[in-house]
Structure 1
Amino acid sequence: MGYKIVFFDIDGTLINEHKEIPADTIKAIAELKERGVEPVIATGRAPYFIKPLAERLGIESFVCMNGAYVVYKGTPLYKREIEKSSLEALVKLAGEHSHGLVFEGEHAFFADKEDHPFIIDSVNSLKVDLPGYNPEYWKTDSIYQVFLHCESHDEHLYENLHSELKLIRWHPQAIDVLPAGGSKAQGIEALLDKLGLTPADAVAFGDGLNDKEMLDVVGFGVAMGNSHPELLPFADYVTTHVDEQGIRNGLVEAGLL
């Protein structure tokens, strides 16, 4: 089948553990574009975290914040914010346990605690600037995703919020908090609908727990060789490691290179 569009996760997929884009990945995406197939970033990151990488790869469209915020060639086309009542419940519970929160809006992100070690460690792991401090930010702006900073043994404290919010761990000290039912797949479907395409027309590459729905919904889902083991059952193909031409080999298997 002639796939028309490819969605790429960032961390562990387009970039390696050193947050570098392998040279062959840059070349493979350039070749993909030359063949008339559109590359799109699909990431848990906010749009202001990915600009340098996107510019280097020549990618203009993004499914960000795990599907809650979608941009096509510079124009936002889908937004799904977290309800204020859900944020209020999260803020109250996290405050009771001294767990730091980072609120991600459309253009900026702010923490509700200053110099919280878990916030510093997790955000630094992304190789981006640390958030500013504004504990009231969630009240005044639309929030599309939150980082909840706690360790795995404390996750059970948030079980009562699962009807309103979806929690996905991405770091030993940090969890992505999304609207209930949110996923990259939701944002991808919104973008495909805009382009007059179906999920069957798409390929997706990922490596993490937040990539399950994305790999499951598209016509051809590729898990990186360095993927979380729980992602593998959702993939149609497991390619090689991100540093071992994983992107190229997956594109070849999909018949795109």
Structure 2
Amino acid sequence: MLLTPGMVAFDMDGTLLTHDSKLTEGTKEALRQLQQQGCKLVLSTGRMYGSAQIPIDSFPFDGYVCSNGGTVFEGDGTLVRQWLLPTEMVIGAIHALRQETIYYELHDTNSNRWMIKEDRERLEATMSEDASVEGFSILSFPYYRLARVEPLAEVLEKVESGEVEIVKFFVWHQDPDRLEWVKEQLKPWSEQVTITSSGKQNVEVIPQGVSKWEGLQYFCEKWGISPEKVMAFGDAENDREALTGAGYSVAMENASDEIKQVAKYIAPHHNEEGVARFIRERVLGEKGE
């Protein structure tokens, strides 16, 4: 029996995109066929809206849930919902994380990635002395070069004044113990934030109660689609709520065992056009090769 979703929500990294952040032509074609059947398509991602646009090559998604649900955008890019981290929490967390040399960014509602100049310089100096401390892979991140880098005093002033509205902290480290240290530093704000992750090497901090599923509720209400008719694809901890809430929950073959246990279905690996293959077989009814 074919599955009949009215809306399909896609995580991006590790799910819809290949390992090199590409949306393949085969995947685009499967998505077009879904739209032709009247199905609504929503990106549901930890990325900010601006960075979500880069790999999709102008594909016309019907909506966007970004920053793990911190912001919600219409298909034309209009911001319709946002949930902000409390100002005092952002300032306190900055001071807490600055105790160690660690990679972190602040993401705002305008798709900016903020880095503090003093901390970035300290990080680069540490890596030049000992590459094993963090690993030079950080320097190859495309967004590392695109970040807005300003002195601590200026960043704090922008946050305090409300000029910059922060929706997410993104922290990266290769050592799981260092990520546990990060979580310890954030405990004073445990009632104000949710700590999640989009991969084994990061921690993502968003407002309490915010999730991709919470963001998807906007589109369910707008289009009159019940949760039972939502299909959600994901691979990581920040997809848990969406996979739990959606009637058709699909984890990728490359997902963690914990996330696979939440899902009702398993799609092939993201590097093998797993989303497209699942859609063709289970929704469109095409026979496999």
Give the TM-score taking structure 2 as reference length: 0.80
Q: Deviations over 1:60-87 (max 9, x none)?
A: 4200000010001222221101111211
Instruction: Tell me how far apart the structure 2 counterparts of residues 123 and 70 of structure 1 sit (CA, whole Å).
Output: 30
Partner of residue 159 from structure 2, selected from 124, 127, 138: 138
What is the CA distance between 1:56 and its match in structure 2?
3.8
Give the AA of the match of 1:152.
P
96, 99, 102: which one aligns with 2:99: 96
Of residues 143-152 and 198-207 in structure 1, the stretch that sits farther from structure 2 once superposed is 143-152
- Name the amino acid aligned to 2:108: G
Greater Cα shift, 2-11 or 51-60: 51-60
Matched residues in 2 for 1:21 and 1:129: separation?
Answer: 22
Could you tell me how far apart the structure 2 residues matched to 1:240 and 1:166 are?
30
Partners of 2:80 and 2:59 in 1: CA distance: 22
Cα separation, 2, equivalents of 1:62 and 1:128: 23
CA contact (8 A) 1:68 1:145 kept: yes
Distance 1:240 1:149, change over 3 A: closer
Spell out, residue by residue over 1:128-163, the C-alpha distance to the aligned partner (whole angstroms, 9 max, x if none).
743121231433311111112444213243234322
| Residues 1:212 and 2:240 aligned together | yes
Output the CA distance in 1 between the equivalents of 2:73 and 2:41.
13
Structure 1 runs of 4+ with >6 Å offset? none
Partner Cα separation in structure 2 for residue 121 and residue 161 of structure 1: 30
Q: Among 196, 207, 212, which residue is 1:184 paired with?
A: 212
CA distance in structure 2 between the aligned counterparts of 1:243 and 1:90, rounded to whole angstroms: 36
Q: Which amino acid aligns with 1:33?
A: Q
Residue 98 (structure 1) shift: 3.5
Deviates more, 1:50-59 or 1:186-195: 50-59
Q: In 1, are the aligned partners of 2:194 and 2:208 still within 8 Å (CA)?
A: yes
Give the direction of change, closer, same or farther, for the CA distance of 1:124–1:178 in structure 2 (3 Å limit).
farther
Greater helix share, 1 or 2? 2
Aligned counterparts, 1:14-25, within 5 A: 14-25=16-27
- In 2, Cα distance between equivalents of 1:120 and 1:12: 22
The equivalent of 1:34 in structure 2 is: 36
User: Structure 2: how far apart are the matches of 1:131 and 1:120?
Assistant: 17
How much is the aligned-residue C-alpha RMSD, in angstroms? Answer: 2.4
Q: TM-score, normalised by structure 1?
A: 0.89
Q: 1:233 to 1:171 in 2, by over 3 A?
A: closer
Q: CA deviation at 1:177?
A: 1.0
* C-alpha separation in 2, matches of 1:119 and 1:144: 27
Alignment gaps of 5+ in structure 1:
none
1:111 and 2:109 equivalent? no
Distance (Å, rounded) in 2 between the aligned partners of 1:99 and 1:12: 24
Look up the match of 2:171: 148
In the alignment, which of 162, 167, 170 is matched to residue 195 of structure 2? 167
Structure 1 residue 227: deviation in Å?
1.2
Q: 1:250: Cα distance to partner? A: 2.4
Judging changes above 3 Å, is the alpha-carbon distance between structure 1 residues 125 and 227 closer, same or farther for their aligned structure 2 residues?
farther
Which whole-Å CA distance do the structure 1 matches of 2:18 and 2:84 have between them? 30
Q: State the AA in 2 paired with 1:233.
A: Q
Aligned match for 1:221, one of 245, 249, 269: 249
Residue 122 of structure 1: how far off its partner (Å): 4.6
Q: Is the 8 A contact 1:7 1:204 kept in 2?
A: yes
Q: 2-side partners of 1:201 and 1:102: how far apart?
A: 36
Q: Contact conserved, 2:85 with 2:207, CA < 8 A, in 1?
A: yes
2:79 pairs with one of 76, 83, 92? 76
- Partner of 1:214, secondary structure, is helix
**The one of 194, 205, 229 aligned to 1:201:** 229
Q: Is the 8 A contact 2:138 2:144 kept in 1?
A: no
